[in-house]
Structure 1
């Protein structure tokens, strides 16, 4: 899902700078002189020649071969490096070229390409080069990428997966279902032995897999899908009913997604939380976090911790360590794009003991049993990368990534993530314009 985080960071930055974002795609048939490579095989039976030890050089289209994407990526990388682009150290799928006059960024995912720049002329020049070299199709302004719809307005950019959501609802027969206000029943604890096993486990696995990708633009269902994904080995009818609850939650607003405003700054903020020993079967804790660039949400996760924590402070500290690594990577990504944050990332946590452990090395007796890699928190605090701040549990934005909240609290939780139904807003604007006319 890193490429989705890249897309969200790129889209947010271009929304702030009001830059152009275009999309290109590699032709589906992979034809042409740049699409073939040689495979040397022994000569066919029945072929006779006066020269001994001869082999056949077979020219074959890349399309359909297992190494097609690797060969295509190698050719594209070599071509971009040849004209002055630099491959980002934070991720090899990002290519950057900048000088005092302009900035150009390219995000590559297999055969789909996003080009962004603060000037139109570099984009046009790059398109001409790619078309003459590879005959790549120009799809114009970015509108649809990896199943994610991108809509632009004067206020900012909106990412959603409306068509993808409607396809899921139609396939499962939930287009006319009765909606609910929460994707999971508050207080529900799912376990492996809940109810009889499904006759066809594939139905459950496919549905959960599709919901996992939907979390790329729907952070409000992240915790629910994380819980459901634990039972793909032996799903039961109870687990399937819980999955249907998520579908009933999605039905009222399939076009809801993340909104990136043009009025934002380049400052990282993180909210992290954990639910201590919440798993009834393993007693492991749940880590949840969300990262903001300015006022826009760019990264989030809900995940079960790898080991059992002896206290809630230890669980929170482990959660801090995981988020610090994500912040460090985002810091590298922004630096590669030429806009490093000017001040430390603000880190909000609702556990004062975890903050004390992260800031003060005197608490050795309390933390000596915790793995050494978790103490990366203390190192990054000393380096000035992050600043730990206390926040009350009632104001903790990451609370909904660790537990099932009652409907009033869940509505408050989703309202802080910048989610917006672009299609609903668009229809309201059309209605208001018709009234003014």
Structure 2
């Protein structure tokens, strides 16, 4: 059985599979119609940098992160070692409204894309996305801390080694009643194949959990569905 995957974005294509002959055959069909250009092994695609070695494959968004910081003039900002201050509580109307709604939404969108290789940002960005309808100055202030954190970690990413134990393992957690406005909880999980992180998510639970252990069980149920 031959497996071939084709990813298309505008006029850029990524072709991969487990049979070189099949890959070459697939490439000939669009080349007859459009005269495509073969750029060889994947190195850069939509802000994603791909580096290969004998040890494995690494993915990062170094250039994307630097461009983000440059666009908002944060390249000279002071570094911080954490995304958020412990105990930070954000809620609706916790301060004066932020003056530029469109800019806030753009920040959240660009940061969401960065979580493709920065899963450590997922919790913070999930919090910011809850206030896109009416962000406040406090919400924007918390976001600037994440940007300062990114400045010190822009080169980090994901690594997938060539040798690993074929074993699936997962972790889950919850943040109980972290939204003062609704008392909803946050569920999070991360899944590994060997030591390689392959799946992760941070989402708000749909209903209110009355106890912390109830929130933990809901988070575990979501994680088990992902494992299956």
**TM-score, structure 2 as length reference:** 0.92
Task: Give the structure with the larger helix fraction.
Answer: 1
Map 1:196-215 to 2 at 5 A: 196-215=96-115
Residue in 2 that maps onto 1:231 = 131
Question: Is the Cα–Cα contact under 8 Å of residues 157 and 260 in structure 1 kept in the other structure?
Answer: yes
Match of 2:84 in 1: 184
Q: Report the secondary structure of 1:240's partner residue.
A: helix
Distance verdict in 2 for CA 1:109–1:266, change over 3 Å:
farther
For residues 7-86 of structure 1, the aligned pairs below 5 Å read none
Deviation at 1:117, TM superposition (A): 3.2
Counterpart Cα distance in 1 of 2:162 and 2:136? 46
Tell me the SS of whatever aligns to 1:235: coil
Distance in 2 (CA, whole Å) between partners of 1:267 and 1:114 is 28
8 Å Cα contact 2:4/2:23 also seen in 1: no
Q: 2:5 aligns with which of 86, 106, 114?
A: 106
Of the two, which has the highest radius of gyration? 1
Q: CA deviation at 1:122?
A: 2.9
- Could you tell me how far apart the structure 2 residues matched to 1:266 and 1:142 are? 25
* 1:317-345 deviations in Å (ceiling 9; x for gaps): 221222233223xxxxxxxxxxxxxxxxx
Q: Do 2:80 and 2:148's aligned partners in 1 also have CA atoms closer than 8 Å?
A: yes
Structure 2: distance between partners of 1:215 and 1:287: 16
SS in 1 for 2:86: coil
| CA distance in structure 2 between the aligned counterparts of 1:198 and 1:309, rounded to whole angstroms | 31
Q: Tell me the CA shift for residue 119 of structure 1.
A: 4.3
Correspondence for 1:257: 157
Q: What is the match of residue 54 of structure 2? A: 154
Determine which of 8, 14, 20 is the counterpart of 1:120.
20
Shift of 1:136: 3.2
Q: Report the secondary structure of 2:189's partner residue.
A: strand
1:230 and 1:172 mapped to 2: Cα distance?
Answer: 22
Is the Cα contact below 8 Å between 2:4 and 2:18 reproduced in 1? no
Aligned to 2:144: 244
Checking the alignment, whether the CA contact within 8 Å between 2:4 and 2:22 is kept in structure 1 is no
Report the alpha carbon displacement of residue 295 of structure 1 after superposing the two structures with TM.
Answer: 0.9
Question: Which sits farther off after the overlay, 319-328 or 151-160?
Answer: 319-328
Corresponding residue to 2:214 among 314, 331, 339: 314
1:275 maps to 2:175:
yes
CA contact (8 A) 1:106 1:113 kept: no
For the structure 1 residues 275 and 116, does the alpha-carbon distance in structure 2 shift closer, same or farther, using more than 3 Å as the test? same
Q: Following the alignment from structure 1 to structure 2, what is the Cα–Cα distance between the partners of residues 110 and 265?
A: 33
Question: How many Å apart are 1:153 and its aligned residue?
Answer: 0.9
Tell whether the 8 Å contact from 2:58 to 2:158 is kept in structure 1 after alignment: yes
**Structure 2 stretches of 5 or more lacking a match?**
none
1:143 corresponding residue in structure 2: 43
- Equivalents in 1 of 2:100, 2:30: separation in Å? 47
Partner of 2:31: 131
TM-score by length of 1: 0.50
What is the total number of aligned residue pairs between the two structures?
227
How does 1:278-317 map onto structure 2 within 5 Å?
278-317=178-217
Distance across 2 between alignment mates of 1:277 and 1:240: 22
The one-character-per-residue Cα deviations of 1:153-179 (angstroms, maximum 9, x if unpaired) are 111101111111011101111001110
- Secondary structure of 1:188's counterpart equals coil
Q: CA deviation at 1:133?
A: 4.4
Q: Secondary structure at the match of 1:291?
A: strand
Q: Can you list the C-alpha shifts for 1:353-397, whole angstroms capped at 9, x where unaligned?
A: xxxxxxxxxxxxxxxxxxxxxxxxxxxxxxxxxxxxxxxxxxxxx
Residue 246 of structure 1 and its aligned partner are, at CA, apart by 0.5
